[in-house]
C-alpha cells in the first residue's frame, strides 16, 4: 500500500546528469520538496537493453512512490526513451492511477519548432536514446517538417562522471562527434543536448561547434513544462509538499556521490545510500 499523504517531487536518473534537470526545476520552482535518486551503482544506462532499462527504472520509480512521492520526473533521457511509456501504460494503473511519471524528451521536443530557424536540428545523446529515435518521433509529432539528425556520443558521459570534462583529452571526443553530426547535415542551426550530463561539456562544445548554431540544454524547458503541468493538474500539484527541501539518495558510495554532485550543483549535499532490485 503506497502512502497517501503529500510528499516530495521525485527526480530519478541513472547517475549524476539528472542533477542538471533538478537544478533547472529548482531555479523555477524552489518552494517544493524534492527527493533525488541516482542509480549510480548501475550507471550508465545508455548502452543497456530496453528490458534492463525498463526494469531498473521501474524499481526506482516504485521506490520513490513508496517514499511518499506522488509525481516522479525521469530526469534521464535513456529512461524516458526506453521505460516511460511502459511504466505509464502498464505499471501505474496497478500501482496507483492517481500518481504520475513524466519524462524529459517531450518538453524539449515541444519547443524546438519555435527555436530552429531553418528546420534542421541535431541531437547529441547516448546510444540508447539515439537508437530509440524518441527525439525524432516526438519532434515530428509537433513539427513534421523538421529534419532531425542524431549522433551517439559514447564517451561523453564517462568524461563527465570521471571529472574529465575540462581535460585536454575531452577535446578529441567532443570535436569528433560535432564533426560527425555536421557531416550528416551541414545545415543544422540548433543542437539538442539529449543527455543530462552533456551541459558540463558546454565549454568544449562551444569551442568546436560553428558560431551561430544554438545549443539547447533541457533543464529550463523541463522546468517550464512542469510548471505548466501543475497549472493543468492542480490535484497532482496539491500532493507535492512545499518546504524547499532536497534529499538525495544513491545506490553507490555516498561519499563519491557527494563529491561528484558538487560538480553539478556547486553546493554541498547530504546523501543516503539505498539498494534497488
Tell me which residues are annotated as active site. 76, 195
Please give the radius of gyration of the chain, using alpha carbons only, rounded to the nearest integer.
18
The contacts of residue 91 (CB under 8 Å, 6+ apart) are 58, 61, 62
- DSSP single-letter state for residue 53: H
How far apart CA 80 and CA 60 sit, in angstroms, is 13
Q: Which residues are within 8 A (CB) of 121 and not within 5 positions of it... i.e. 6 or more apart?
A: 112, 139, 146, 147, 148, 149, 188, 189, 190, 191, 192
- Cα angle at 102 between 140 and 31, to 5 degrees? 125
Round to whole Å and give the CA distance between 211 and 94: 50
Name 154's Cβ contacts closer than 8 Å, sequence gap at least 6.
46, 47, 126, 127
Amino acid at each position: 500500500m503506497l502512502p497517501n499523504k503529500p510528499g516530495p517531487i521525485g527526480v530519478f536518473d541513472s547517475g549524476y546528469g539528472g542533477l542538471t534537470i533538478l537544478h533547472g526545476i529548482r531555479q523555477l520552482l524552489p518552494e517544493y520538496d524534492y527527493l533525488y535518486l541516482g542509480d549510480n551503482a548501475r550507471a550508465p544506462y545508455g548502452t543497456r537493453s530496453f528490458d534492463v532499462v525498463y526494469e531498473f527504472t521501474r524499481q526506482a520509480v516504485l521506490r520513490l512512490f513508496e517514499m511518499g512521492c506522488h509525481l516522479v520526473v525521469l530526469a534521464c533521457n535513456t529512461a524516458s526513451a526506453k521505460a516511460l511509456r511502459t511504466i505509464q501504460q502498464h505499471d501505474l494503473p496497478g500501482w496507483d492511477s492517481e500518481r504520475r511519471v513524466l519524462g524529459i524528451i517531450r518538453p524539449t521536443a515541444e519547443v524546438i519548432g519555435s527555436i530552429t530557424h531553418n528546420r534542421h536540428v541535431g541531437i547529441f545523446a547516448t546510444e540508447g536514446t539515439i537508437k530509440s529515435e524518441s527525439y525524432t518521433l516526438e519532434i515530428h509529432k509537433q513539427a513534421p517538417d523538421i529534419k532531425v539528425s542524431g549522433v551517439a556520443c559514447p564517451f561523453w558521459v564517462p568524461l563527465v562522471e570521471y571529472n574529465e570534462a575540462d581535460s585536454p583529452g575531452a577535446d578529441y571526443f567532443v570535436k569528433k562527434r560535432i564533426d560527425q553530426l555536421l557531416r550528416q547535415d551541414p545545415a543544422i542551426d540548433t543542437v539538442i543536448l539529449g543527455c543530462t550530463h552533456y551541459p558540463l561539456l558546454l565549454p568544449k562544445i562551444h569551442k568546436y561547434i560553428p558560431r551561430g548554431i544554438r545549443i539547447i540544454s533541457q533543464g529550463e524547458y523541463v522546468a517550464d513544462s512542469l510548471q505548466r503541468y501543475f497549472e493543468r493538474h492542480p490535484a497532482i500539484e496539491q500532493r507535492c509538499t512545499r518546504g524547499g527541501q532536497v534529499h538525495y539518495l544513491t545506490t553507490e558510495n555516498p561519499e563519491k556521490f557527494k563529491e561528484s554532485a558538487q560538480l553539478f550543483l556547486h553546493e554541498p549535499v547530504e546523501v543516503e545510500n539505498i539498494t534497488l532490485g
